[in-house]
Structure 1
Amino acid sequence: MKNQSHPIVIVKKRKHKGHGGHHGGSWKIAYADFMTAMMAFFLVMWLISISSPKELIQIAEYFRTPLATAVSGGPRISNSDSPIPGGGDDYTQKQGEVKREPNVDELKRRMEQSRLKKLRGDLDQLIEADPKLRALRPHLKIDLVQEGLRIQIIDSQNRPMFKTGSADVEPYMRDILRAIAPVLNGIPNRISLSGHTDDFPYAGGEKGYSNWELSADRANASRRELVIGGLDDGKVLRVVGMAATMRVTDRGPDDAINRRISLLVLNKQAEQAILHENAESQNESLDDLKQPGPAPSAAVPTSPPANPR
């Protein structure tokens, strides 16, 4: 009996997982996250609905490149050098940190530059679409300059734009001018026309009909063709003759390329400069007229004429 073995009983306790009810709480965390996100979403929607267009632009500008100013030192929204906005009750206009309004003149200049670039593209498309104009492409030079968009119609030995020594327009020159006239009406900018010649002199020299008169006559003849082609009457601001004073720099003075018509689509700054120049010259002339002359001498009484008529 003493040596009789007894079986050893091992009891294993297992943890029972809860099924539903209040025993599990992980779903509450997920639900709380969802509700927080929804609350943030509706808060953002409410702020957008009550914000003015100016405030929306400021918010969009910040989220577009939030660290651009801090990293690259680019232009800031405000005049402040501080990376932290200043204090104030109005969060759109902090004390000591007011949004810098865009320069109106700069915006107008950019819009005008964009308009001139579009005009250049329209002229290029017009030339490529018309077989006649496409054949004359070597005679056309279109480029952006400081005063605006310059369109130069250049002469050549094989195909002159005018009859020799005359302001009579050749047919292909007429085709160019009449074709571009409607395109020039598409923008509000005014136009300056200038005629240029080579330095080959007339037999009579400068005392008679010279390159000055010829260049001016050719510029005015070009103006007439533009008007016939549909250009508005008030578009042309100035027509001038430059003779041979502004020749192409890399060519000789008697080269055919110097015989050309320059059509300049003026930007607002160049137009105002021309108008200001004319206004100053007119004021000076009026001032000269207003200057008092010498006082008349005192009249000496004389006997009346015998037979007045």
Structure 2
Amino acid sequence: MANGKQLQPIIIKRIKKGGHAAHGGAWKIAYADFVTAMMAFFLLMWLLGSTAKGELQGIAEYFQNPIKVSLMGGTGTGNSDSILPGGGRDLSKQAGQVDSGDAERAAKMMGAQMARADDVKRERLRQEQARLDDLENSIRNLIESKAELAAFKDQIQLQKTPDGLSILIVDNQNRPMFDTGSALVKPHMREILQTIGKAMGKVENRITLSGHTDATPYGNGDRGYSNWELSADRANATRRELVAGGLPDDKLVRVEGLASSRLLFPARPNDPANRRISIVIMTREAEERMLPAPGAPQPVKAEPDAAAAAPAVTTSQAPATGPVVVPPRPALQIPVDMTKTQATPRP
């Protein structure tokens, strides 16, 4: 070398670093599970906070009785008392034990059914009252539209009663409805009855009909014909005229003669207005009270007492000819020939 010095060799020492020991990834799985659980927890809290109280109660009832979810319907497993179709009932439930959820649902269901029944009844009554109002207006208009009948409108009284629409046709001293002591209908009375029968022709309600007399005794009443028979004959004659006017005969459920047992003016028993014909277009409620339901047991009728006073003679859908039927009150039966329209004149 030029300077006489020998250069020392440069030694580069390269040290290889060893790799880290394996750490594993189990903590990541645990962390992921923790995050998932927290997310599910907060989601559950949010759902509980946004759910209505009724829905929460339904969820609680489901977990209390998971076999039968609801009594309101459904065709799945939740609507059966058994897990398997055709299986037996829950043997763990003791006899007489009632599930609180089932009892509550049954009570709610019964309350809802009663409320619906009340609504249906109110609607039926409203429609029925509307029909009776229309019938009342129709009868008034028919009578007032005919000049020959307008003069007798003061003898026709229409009023609402608890049993329905009542039509009273009262007698007048100068304009009697029937011949004296007879069931022979006067011409103007025949026109009035046929007009009313025409108006009632399309009414669905059932009808009762009763005849009344004043307290004046019938002449020769000791021979078997009295005010009872006279009132029954007049009621049946009225029935025939109503049917001739257009009233279906099967709408009549009772035709009766009451004589002077129900005076219109008790303080004036001989007043001509006590001689009257009463027609009642019954409401459904009144009809149900009078007529027994189909299949209902019939009451046992008592034997008539021969010593009892004379009853109101009643006919029920009787034809033009036939015997008078005794009313439901226990009393003496008095057969009367309904073809008799002319009797001994009253004094």
* Bin of the TM-score, shorter chain as denominator length: 0.5 to 0.7
Worse-superposed segment, 129-138 or 219-228? 129-138
Structure with higher Rg: it is 2
Match of 2:116 in 1: 101
Q: Which runs of 5+ in 2 are unaligned?
A: 1-51, 57-104, 303-347
| SS of aligned partner of 2:215 | coil
Secondary structure at the counterpart of residue 178 of structure 2: coil
User: What is the distance in 2 between the residues matched to 1:279 and 1:243?
Assistant: 34
Q: Which amino acid aligns with 2:54?
A: G
Instruction: State how far apart, in whole Å, the 2-side matches of 1:220 and 1:279 are.
Output: 29
8 Å CA contact retained: 2:206, 2:252: yes
Aligned partner of residue 167 in structure 1, secondary structure: coil
Displacement of 1:282 in angstroms is 4.8
- Tell me which amino acid in the other structure corresponds to 1:131: A
Deviations 1:76-115 (CA, angstroms, capped at 9, x unpaired): xxxxxxxxxx84359xxxx989975361223212221221
Letter in 2 for 1:274: M
Q: Is the 8 A contact 2:211 2:232 kept in 1?
A: yes
Match of 2:191 in 1: 175
Q: What whole-Å deviation, never above 9, does each CA across 1:206-258 have from its counterpart, x for those lacking one?
A: 66210000000000000001111111121111100010011113650000000
2-side partners of 1:101 and 1:124: how far apart? Answer: 36
In the alignment, which residue of structure 2 is the partner of 1:115? Answer: 131
Look up the SS of the partner of 2:300 in the other structure: helix
The structure that is helix-richer by fraction is 1
- 1:88 maps to amino acid: G
Alpha-carbon offset, residue 276 of structure 1 = 2.7
Aligned partner of 2:235 in structure 1 is: 219
Q: Give, in angstroms, the shift of residue 186 of structure 1.
A: 2.1
Q: Which amino acid aligns with 1:232?
A: P
Is residue 2:251 matched to residue 1:235?
Answer: yes
Q: Distance in 1 between matches of 2:217 and 2:133?
A: 38
Partner of residue 141 from structure 1, selected from 142, 154, 157: 157
User: Shift of residue 172 of structure 1?
Assistant: 0.3
TM-score normalised by length of structure 1: 0.58
1:1-309 equivalences in 2 (<5 Å): 87-89=53-55, 100-101=115-116, 103=118, 104-205=120-221, 208-249=224-265, 252-276=268-292, 282-285=298-301
Cα RMSD after superposing both structures? 2.9
Post-superposition Cα deviations, 1:262-306, rounded to whole Å, max 9, x if no partner, equal 0111111211222139998954159xxxxxxxxxxxxxxxxxxxx
State the SS of the aligned residue for 1:238.
strand
1:119 is paired with a residue whose SS is helix
Q: Residues 277, 157 of structure 1: CA spacing in aligned structure 2 closer, same or farther, 3 A cutoff? A: farther
Contact 2:265–2:274 (CA under 8 A) maintained in structure 1: no
Gaps (5+ residues) in structure 1?
A: 1-85, 287-309
Secondary structure of 2:160 counterpart: strand
The SS at the match of 2:256 is strand
Identify which range, 174-183 or 95-104, moves more after superposition: 95-104
Runs of 4+ in 1 over 4 A off after TM superposition: 95-100, 277-283
Q: Secondary structure at the match of 1:284?
A: coil
What does the per-residue CA deviation read over 1:30-77, in whole Å, with 9 as the maximum and x for residues that have no partner? xxxxxxxxxxxxxxxxxxxxxxxxxxxxxxxxxxxxxxxxxxxxxxxx
Per-residue CA deviation, residues 178-217 of structure 1 (Å, 9 max, x unaligned), is 1111210222001100000000002334662100000000
CA shift for structure 1 position 176: 0.4
Residue identity opposite 2:177 in structure 1? M
Shift of the 277–167 alpha-carbon distance from structure 1 to 2, 3 Å rule, reads: farther
Corresponding letter in the other structure for 2:174: N
C-alpha distance in structure 2 between counterparts of 1:207 and 1:272, whole Å:
39
The residue type equivalent to 1:152 in the other structure is: L
**Distance (Å, rounded) in 1 between the aligned partners of 2:295 and 2:253:** 13
Would the alpha carbon gap of residues 106 and 154 (structure 1) be closer, same or farther in structure 2, given more than 3 Å must change? same
Question: What is the aligned length?
Answer: 197
Using the size of structure 2 for normalisation, the TM-score is: 0.52
Identical pairs, percent: 44
Matched letter for residue 213 of structure 1 = E
